[in-house]
Structures are given as C-alpha cells and as structure tokens.
Chain A
Amino acid sequence: MTQAEIRGEAPGADYTFAYLDEQTKRMIRRALLKALAVPGYQVPFASREMPMPYGWGTGGVQVSAAVLTPEDTLKVIDQGADDTTNAVSIRKFFQKTAGIAVTEHTGEATVIQTRHRIPEAPLTEGQILVYQVPIPEPLRFLEPRETETRRMHALEEYGLMHVKLYEDIARHGEIATAYAYPVKIEGRYVMDPSPIPKFDNPKLRMAAIQLFGAGREQRIYALPPYTEVVSLDFEDHPFVPGKAEGACALCGSETSYLDEVIVDDRGGRMFVCSDTDYCAGRRAAGYRGEMAAEEGGA
C-alpha cells in the first residue's frame, strides 16, 4: 500500500510537490533568504536524505525543490550538457515529482540547475541558477576542521589562502587552480564557486540569482543579482580565465568553453562546446565548425 493510499489520496500523490514536504521546503527557504542577505556566507541547513546519492547533486536538488513553483520551467545541465546521464536523471526526477515544464534552452528556463558550468548565454533578471556543490568550504583543503574554518571566515582570516596561491606561483609560475577557483564576495567572504572551470568565474557577476546547495555538507550559500565577485589573484599575477585554444568543431565558436574529445588512438582530438544548448543554437543559426558536415552524416 502506498502512502497516498493510506492517506486516502489518489495514486501519484505519493509525494508533495517537488518531493520535499512543505516544512522542509520552508526550512530551506529560510536558509536561502539568510544566504541571500549575507552573500558568500555558508548557511548551515538540515539537509535531508534524498532518493539520489550524496555527490549526485542532493544539495542542488533540495534548493531547486524549495524554489520551484508549478509555473516554472526547469533546465538541468551537467558539464554544460542537457543530455548527460545525471542531468537527465535529475530533470526526470522533477518532471515526476513536480510535473513542471522542462526545457533545454537557457533563455526559456526560469530555474537552471547546474553541475560544473555556467551557461554561455548570459542569464537575465528573473532567472535562478542553482549550483550543485561538493565541498562548499574554500578553505577545506588548507584546514580540514570545520570548527577552524568557520572561525577563519568569522575573523576574515584568509592569509592561508593567499599563501597557498603564492606557493603555487613559486612552484609552477602561476596559480595552479583550474576549477573551483576561489572568489571574494563584496570584499568580505571568500567563497567556493563550486567546481566550475575558472573560465566561468567572470560570469559570476550576473543578473540572475545564484543559489549554491551542498547536501552532504549541509550548507547553502547565495549570490544576489549583480553581486561583486572577484577571483583571488595578485597584482603581478592577475587572474586569467583560460580555456582550450581552438574553436568548436561543430559550431565554430572560438569564445565558448570547449571539451576535448579523443577521436582515435593516434593522438587525434577535437574540441566541442561543453554547453550543448549554446552549440545547438549556433548551428541552428547557420554557424558551422570544421567537422559539422561529418556530424550531419553520422
């Protein structure tokens, strides 16, 4: 017997809208409001056990569940792509539990849940970007203790981070962090932007609301629209976004973030946009990369 049958409700009403019960959603929304009020500050929240594993985006899923309304249109991406298995799985989860409209088009979505990327197309006011966060604490790999890192944030004690960045330069000639590159929010909190490539860091100052959910670590943090976000660097070693040299083999874009695909065992490789919707949009508009014809024939 299902829960719904026990309660005398219609089958299919097994779970409340977007899975989480209303009290839990209220608890998460409170944490979100606090997070928006103190940008970059990690708000502890009573993360629930979700029907997907920790590490699969339980934080993002809980945040999305708390902000979704029946009128919303949801887009889910993983590695920039709508059709990666986990993006498909999360999208299906919300279709099933919330019955909401879904889209692959960045411009049509009101809520976008992402793992590891910010879409190439600029987001607009009214949109919400929800990040899945594995380790919310930017200082974690410098100091494993939560009690310590919370104190360091409270005292704005970020010297350790600068020492780490400096040591990178001393050893490698540049800052050896390519993703999850630390940022400072409105001159106050150092924040982990989640494991997006540092290429995406300049986009963090945007028109949309950005919400970050870390389920296993029970933390939520947020950036209100147009919040100042500065990637940490030094005057003589300024921050460089960086991406693969080359153009997308399908749409020819030279400005989007590219994934490298190994095409044979003789060192052959090609580059394609990681943002599948952006790439498809360019191709629909007539842009062609050097291998686009072959793709059409495949």
Chain B
Amino acid sequence: MYVAVKGGERAIDNAHAWLAEERRGDAAVPELAVAQIREQMTLAVNRVMAEGSLYDPDLAALAIKQARGDLIEAIFLIRAYRTTLPRLGASEPVETGAMRCDRRISATFKDVPGGQVLGPTFDYTHRLLDFALAAEGEVPEAATAAPDPAPKPRITGLLDRDGLIETEPASDETPPDLTREPLGFPAGRALRLQALTRSDEGFALGMAYSTQRGYGRNHPFVGELRLGRVGVEVEIPELGFAVEIAEIELTECETVNQFAGSKTEPPQFTRGYGLVFGQSERKAISMALVDRALRWEDLGEDFTGAPAQDAEFVISHGDNIQASGFLEHIKLPHYVDFQSELELVRRIRAEAAASAAEREAAE
C-alpha cells in the first residue's frame, strides 16, 4: 500500500527533459535564434541586463531563450553566471554628460541647449495592434540625419549654476558594492542607488507610484531623461592612463523635486537620480522618484511612515531574485515542520476539548 517517496533523481531528470521540450514548443515552428532575441526583443534584453547587473546583450538574449521568456528566470540565470566571473577591475565613472544621445527630453524647459530629441519612443504611438506585423512584412526604412554634434549638457547642471538646485558634493570615495559586501543599514545613497538600479522594475515602479499618490510625496519633474551610449574607460596600471574598453547604452533620469529651505537657507530644488542599463525609461524614472523619497533624512524632511521612505523596507524587498526565491521555496517539502505543527494543534485542541468537558460536568 505505502510506497516510500523514492525516485527523486529520476523525477528531476525527466522533469528537465520535459522542460526542454516545452521550451522548444512546436518543432514545426522555426526555432528562435539568440540573435533574433537580441535584436528584436531589445527591451527584454535590456531589463535582463539591468536587473542581472551584467552588461552583455548576447548572454541576456540566451538567458531569455533558455528561460522561455520568463524575465525573472532569465535575470536569475545572468546573476548566477555573474557570480562566477572574476573581477578584473573597476571602470572610471562614466560621463553621462558626454553621452551620444538617441533620445533626450526635458519636461521642465521648452527648449534646452543641445535641443530636445524625441528618439525611439512608444510615448506618442497609438496603442493599436499592428496586424501588419503578424504578416511579417519588412518595415520601411526610417528617415536618417547626420548626428547632431551639439553638446548636450545636463540640465540639472544648468540649474546648479544658478544655485537653484542643491549641489551634489563630488566624491572620489570608492562606492560600496552590495554584490561583494553584506548589505548593512543605514545604507548610504550610493548603496541605495546600486540596490535600486538592479531592483525589480515592477517593485520600483510600485514604490515610485506610491510616492505620487501621497505616500511620501516629493513633487517630481523630469528635469531630464536621456538615452544613449557612453564610453567605459578603465585605467590600465601599466600604462598609467585610462583607455576606452567598451561602449554601453544607458538611460539616465534626473528629477527636479520640490525645494527645501528655511529662514537661514534660501529654498532650492532637490534631486532624484536614476541610471539603468539599456533603454529602461520606466525603471530610470521610478528609480529617481524612490531615490528622492529615500533622501528624506539628508534633506531634513519628516519621516511620514511611507514605505518608499523606508530604506530598510525598500532595499530588503526590491530584489526579485531574492524575493521570488524565498516566495517560491514554500513549495519545497516542509512536512517535518508541518508534522510538528500538526501534533501541536491536535494536542491544544484535545486539551481545550477536555477542559470544556470538565466545565460542562461542573455546571
């Protein structure tokens, strides 16, 4: 009658084989190439790179393919791979002011030095399903123009010149790295920003949205949102100077938020900052809003009890690999624990029934 729960090993092997078959889907339909995912699912690739904390579009595309399109699973694959990579050095800070922008908009000024560049955005598309895409037709070539050589200085820099926005003190201090050091609290801004940039997009979005609805409101304007490519430079000790080793795509968002001020300090606008791998605007803006909300202490504001103001809450719960792992682990066997609870509940119930019977007899 009773057969011990044996055969875990065979079950696992069979499950993996079945999974591989499900991933492939109908064999009559051509298989997706990694390059197709990289080129045509770019925003998924970007998200996997951003939250996987590894800038490699080919590996991200491979991870998406292997994960059957489950982006959190793909991010997990990238994170696990990243663990095994040796750390050869750290780059110089990237200069986003010198970004070769594909897109650069400001919501605070109608025109700005360097101009507004709309770029490749869904913003003004009408969300109508394009059935022509189902027919797999080629799109007509977009109009081209020569690259605009005009420098595109950061807009908050322009406000900074007039003293209208808080100055961000420059520092050459090596920023902490939560992938190498255990996370501790209180967490400084650099650490918070690192946690936010690799946090789950949905979590960051929800947190940012909650500030807009009054849970730690901070009145943000998008001072500037820019998307483009920057060079990554590494100083080579043998050479004694920095050389460019790569070019990466980044989305940067700087918000201009409501001012602080007092009788002695004239009011100034304050900042929120978001920087994310690839084209990830929703994430960059979310990050900037949450960053600003977390700065309440530095800016002498009140803690109103809003979740987005609570650094320990935000940072401890924003990582989707930690969260999904711990959430889903409850499907692993817990029968030993459950058994002990079962015994306990039975005993307490039996005791309660016995004392109820005693009371009845006494009445």
Using CB atoms and an 8 Å cutoff, list the residues of chain A in contact with chain B: 3, 15, 19-21, 44-51, 53-56, 58, 78-81, 83-89, 92, 116-117, 134, 145-147, 172-174, 176, 178-180, 195-199, 216, 218, 242-244, 249-250, 257-261, 263, 270, 272, 274, 276, 291, 294-295, 298
Q: Tell me which residues across on chain B come within 8 A of A180, comparing CB atoms.
A: 337
Q: Mark B1-45, 1 if CB is under 8 A from A, else 0.
A: 111111111011000000000000000000000000000000000
A–B Cβ pairs within 8 angstroms, 13 of them: A49-B179, A50-B83, A53-B328, A54-B329, A55-B329, A84-B333, A86-B332, A146-B316, A173-B352, A178-B340, A259-B335, A294-B1, A298-B1
Given the contacts A49-B321, A173-B351, A216-B326, A88 and B1 also touching, CB distance less than 8 Å: no
Q: Tell me which residues across on chain A come within 8 A of B324, comparing CB atoms.
A: 53
Closest to B332 in A: A86
In the complex the two chains form, what is the Cα distance from A44 to B180 in whole Å?
A: 12
Stretch from B126-134, B183-191, B212-220 forming part of the interface with A: B183-191
Q: Tell me which residues across on chain A come within 8 A of B316, comparing CB atoms.
A: 146
Q: Tell me which residues across on chain A come within 8 A of B1, comparing CB atoms.
A: 263, 291, 294, 298
Cross-chain contact A83 with B6 (CB below 8 angstroms): yes
B140 → chain A closest CB, angstroms: 38
Cross-chain contact A259 with B336 (CB below 8 angstroms): yes
Known: A44-B184, A263-B1. 6 other contacts (CB 8 A): A50-B80, A117-B336, A197-B339, A260-B339, A272-B2, A298-B3
Q: Tell me which residues across on chain B come within 8 A of A145, comparing CB atoms.
A: 312
Of the residues B7, B325, B340, B352, contact of A242 by C-beta under 8 Å = B340
Is B92 part of the contact surface with A, judged by Cβ < 8 Å? no
Q: Tell me which residues across on chain B come within 8 A of A195, comparing CB atoms.
A: 334, 336-337
A33 → chain B closest CB, angstroms: 16
Of the residues B4, B340, B344, contact of A272 by C-beta under 8 Å = B4
Cross-chain contact A249 with B342 (CB below 8 angstroms): no
Q: Tell me which residues across on chain A come within 8 A of B341, comparing CB atoms.
A: 178-179
Closest to B181 in A: A46
Closest to A88 in B: B8
Using CB atoms and an 8 Å cutoff, list the residues of chain B in contact with chain A: 1-9, 11-12, 76, 79-80, 82-84, 86, 179-186, 312, 316, 321-322, 324-330, 332-337, 339-344, 347-348, 351-352
Given the contacts A50-B80, A259-B339, A56 and B12 also touching, CB distance less than 8 Å: no
Closest to A116 in B: B336
Of the residues B183, B335, B336, B352, contact of A218 by C-beta under 8 Å = B183
Closest to B337 in A: A179
Q: Tell me which residues across on chain B come within 8 A of A44, comparing CB atoms.
A: 182-184
Given the contacts A84-B333, A216-B326, A298-B3, A179 and B351 also touching, CB distance less than 8 Å: no
Cross-chain contact A179 with B340 (CB below 8 angstroms): yes
Given the contacts A21-B84, A55-B332, A146-B312, A218 and B182 also touching, CB distance less than 8 Å: yes
In the complex the two chains form, what is the Cα distance from A10 to B186 in whole Å?
A: 46
In the complex the two chains form, what is the Cα distance from A295 to B340 in whole Å?
A: 25
